[in-house]
Amino acid sequence: MAGVYISYPFCAQKCTYCNFASGVFPAALEGEYFEALLAEIKSTEWPWTPETVYLGGGTPSQMDPGKLARLLEAIPGGKWREATVEAAPGGITAELAGAWARAGINRVSLGVQSFAQAELRGTGRKHTAGIVASEVEILRGSGISNISVDLISGLPRQTEESWNDSLDWVRRLDVPHVSIYMLEVDEDSRLGLEILDGGTKYGAGRVPREEDIAGFYEKAVDMLAEHGLARYEISNFARAGYESVHNLKYWRLEPYLGFGADAHSFCGGKRWQNAESPADYVVRMREAGAAVVERTVASMEEEYFFLGLRQMEGVEAGPERIAPYRKDVERLVEMGLVEYDERRLRLTRRGVLLSNDVFEVFIHTCPG
Ligand code: SF4
């Protein structure tokens, strides 16, 4: 079954740790972007009726709800099995949540990142733990109880105590889905750049040690399991039946179409990607009626392993399928990073922490 992803890269602020192609842009661009996005969706010849819709960003929760409804109306289906909007806590009112529910949204992913004020202050996020708690109640009151909360292990000023405090909040809020990301250090975020190049503005010197970040993540795995949320993918935890139907498509190589700046699509064994910056996207849509900047043929066998292995259930891999990788798989089994029983291949608990080492094997040894 297929999915739809809509990118809305506009945010109220640029968070220090954020390495997405999102940020603060002129209001006029936001209006033009909406028209381009609507035009892109409307001009699509749909190869299927989607099962899921996911509005990501950026901060699609800051979009005018009437406009959000117009985007959704242009997508076939209507009563999708799962329709998610990513939201930044701090602006969810009963009116907004009600409008989302009427437009077909039945899941909200809250980019909380932390419940600790000392951590939040340095990132640019404006919410407090109390605001998150009251907005979770507002969503539930509007009939949206499928709620996910994101946390980041590794933010500057994070301590064992503050991490435990954030986990306690998650437990008390009793949401059915949680995502835990370990801080990504790269040149695409201001904090990442500071960690790599030095500086004191964004708190690079206060980032926990790598082993502590992994320890925080492991602690979350145990706490969430005790609370009934099983890890079903490296970064994702859910009560049974609340796994993200949309995100599972990425790891199971099911088709999806992406709309908007930097959106990716995968269909018919091909991948393609739109222009990254919203301004570039708007210009391309206006001048050419399309914004695709890159097309590739998917390496299906390679992707089958390195995307599928992200799931805790692993991938089906009988002796024939594993044959080109047999030696490497045996080595990974010996290292304690994967389990293999001639039917399924899956990461071990240790393998999750060193998953890039495992994935590399499949990328480098892919036949052809
Ligand atoms: S973390 Fe979220 S809200 Fe912050 S800049 Fe990135 S996309 Fe925007």
Residue 346 lies in a domain: yes
In a domain, 164, yes or no: yes
Tokens found for residue 329: 């798989």
Closest atom, ligand 1, to C-alpha of 20 = 6
| Per-residue pLDDT tens digits for 22-36 | 999 999 999 999 999
State whether 90 and 191 are in the same domain. Answer: yes
**Residue whose CA is closest, atom 1 of ligand 1?**
18
* Range 32-68 burial, b when 16+ CB lie within 10 A, else e: bbbebbbebbeeeeeeeebbbbbbbbbbbbbbebebb
Cβ of 15 less than 6 Å from ligand 1: yes
Q: What residues have CB less than 8 Å from 64, skipping those under 6 apart?
A: none
Cα-only R_g, the chain:
21
State the pLDDT confidence band at 364, using cuts at 50, 70 and 90.
low
- What CATH number is given to the structural domain containing 114? 3.20.20.70
Flag whether pLDDT at 324 surpasses 60: yes
- Residues 123 and 225 occupy one common structural domain: yes
Give the predicted TM-score (pTM) of the model. Answer: 0.96
Instruction: Measure the CA–CA gap between 355 and 120, rounded to whole angstroms.
Output: 28
Residue 31 CB contacts under 8 Å (≥ 6 apart), including other chains: none
> Which pLDDT belongs to residue 258?
98
Kindly state whether residues 177 and 92 are assigned to the same domain.
yes
Number of domains observed in the structure of the chain:
2
pLDDT at 367 over 60: no
Same-domain pairing of 246 and 315: no
> Does the Cβ of 87 fall within 6 Å of ligand 1?
no
Q: Looking at the domain assignment, is residue 289 inside a domain?
A: no
**Which residues constitute the domain of residue 355?**
300-364
- For ligand 1, atom 7, name the residue with the nearest CA: 58
- Residue 123 CA: which ligand 1 atom is closest? 4
Give the separation between CA 255 and CA 16, rounded to whole angstroms: 33
Three-state secondary structure along 94-162? HHHHHHHHHHCCCEEEEEEECCCHHHHHHHCCCCCHHHHHHHHHHHHHCCCCCEEEEEEECCCCCCHHH
20 lines ligand 1 (CB under 6 A): yes
Query: Mean pLDDT across the stretch 127-148?
Result: 98
Which CATH number fits the domain that encloses residue 345?
1.10.10.920
Which of 18, 86, 112, 276 has most ligand 1 atoms within 8 Å of CB, for mutation? Answer: 18
